[in-house]
Structure 1
């Protein structure tokens, strides 16, 4: 019950702002709404959802949040866009307190942890190339996770852009959706494979402000 109340608290605090908000959302899915420049990640509205197979019975998901980083974009030259984001692995969240604890617990008797361990390093994605096609793009970059760096390609799509109302900060916003699949064993996180899936699908909601 306490957790439910905590989840509702931000909505209660936002209620006065919502009441004063315009009748329609300020964001637009028209790319013309994007203005150039360097944006910073909006950590409250950016999340990396990961999903893998659990024993062949069902998919299981968790979330990385509190992402930080930057996006530099020029609407006239989208292929020159650059993104550099950092994901605090230590703040991973799942629907099970026991599983979350397992992901972050140290190895037994000083040995190697099953998953991330007690003090995991942040993950980081740095783009190396962008190929845009209308409102979609393939973003290639280097993902560093668990101390291992490997190339990863994201399939990204433009979601919306625009200026937030003054009572909500008045900042320029731009948002994207991106997906990719990685093999966790390639990053030294192979515990439980193949009983627990090696392939991890990443579904990213990326929000930026300037």
Structure 2
């Protein structure tokens, strides 16, 4: 019995030590380290939602996001954000619909492979919130869009040891403004975006 208890105790102590070594992320925006950050594509999600004939809201997503963020918590208005999203990464729960969305009747990923967002203005909207306005390019058209952004947390990732910050953002655009008019008005014009972004410090 003793031989069984000792390895078990050792494992418990090891796991407990590892848990104690992990420092929770700070939720204080003032604690964020200034610097240049790159999108962590594995932990950044771009979701979208559109009305489906008024019966329900249909949701999907994009992945493989890339981009950069320059941020100084002492001067948040000077922050700069640039993001690129491959249109062909669009996903839904229907393989048939996913294929159609990539085609020329919808997003036309072959002709317009990327959706991009480049910030032009950052305005504080509270201690941990901001309104980030920028130029969003989709389907070959560029229009201004404002995102409501909330700071989530910052700290050293206990797994890869990289200093990481995270934000949640929401925004709405009219797909018809970007020339995507298939099935209007049966399929809603308002495209609602929900973004969970993680960024790793590069310098």
Deviation at 1:22, TM superposition (A): 2.5
- What residue number does 1:145 align with? 138
User: In 2, Cα distance between the equivalents of 1:192 and 1:42?
Assistant: 35
Under a length normalisation based on structure 1, what TM-score does the superposition of the two structures give? 0.83
Deviation at 1:194, TM superposition (A): 0.3
User: In 1, Cα distance between the equivalents of 2:199 and 2:81?
Assistant: 11
Gaps of 5+ in 1: 1-17, 106-112
- What residue number does 2:157 align with? 164
The one of 51, 54, 58 aligned to 1:53:
51
- What residue number does 1:197 align with? 188
Q: Which runs of 4+ in 1 moved over 4 A?
A: 18-21
- What residue number does 2:166 align with? 175
User: In 1, Cα distance between the equivalents of 2:44 and 2:17?
Assistant: 24
Describe the superposition over 1:13-55 as per-residue Cα deviations: whole angstroms up to 9, x where unpaired: xxxxx99852566312122331000000000111110000001
Deviation at 1:118, TM superposition (A): 4.9
Q: What SS is found at the alignment partner of 1:22?
A: helix
Deviation at 1:114, TM superposition (A): 1.2
Q: Indicate the structure (1 or 2) with the bigger Cα radius of gyration.
A: 2
CA contact 1:126–1:141 (8 Å) conserved in 2: yes
Describe the superposition over 1:139-165 as per-residue Cα deviations: whole angstroms up to 9, x where unpaired: 010000011000000110100000112
The CA RMSD over aligned residues, in Å, is: 1.7
Matched length: 184
Under a length normalisation based on structure 2, what TM-score does the superposition of the two structures give? 0.86
Gaps of 5+ in 2: 1-14
Describe the superposition over 1:175-199 as per-residue Cα deviations: whole angstroms up to 9, x where unpaired: 0011111000100101011000000
